[in-house]
Amino acid sequence: MAWYDMKLFFRWHPKYTEASSRLFEQRWGYRFYSEQAMYLWVFRRKVFLFARWLYVPVNGANMAVRIVAKLRSYIKPE
């Protein structure tokens, strides 16, 4: 993945995710996932992709995700 390709993966934002989930609910009639869980997934995915872009092995990238998520929970508790 090139650095400029990351714009595609990092463009997720809560307002886009919320609009998508509302559309899903309207079309299918039920809540597929909570927005908060989706935001957390997007954050964790960004950390993982960035670590992989730095050529960190998958196990190391997963560890980085856990560490950064833990630090984030201390700084910004939900």
User: CA-to-CA distance for 16 and 35, rounded, in angstroms?
Assistant: 11
Copy the structure tokens of residue 74: 């201390």
User: What pTM value is reported for the model?
Assistant: 0.57
Q: What is the pLDDT of residue 45?
A: 86
Give the residue among 66, 46, 61 at the shortest CA–CA distance from 6: 46
Q: What is the pLDDT of residue 46?
A: 86
| Residues with pLDDT less than 50, the chain | none
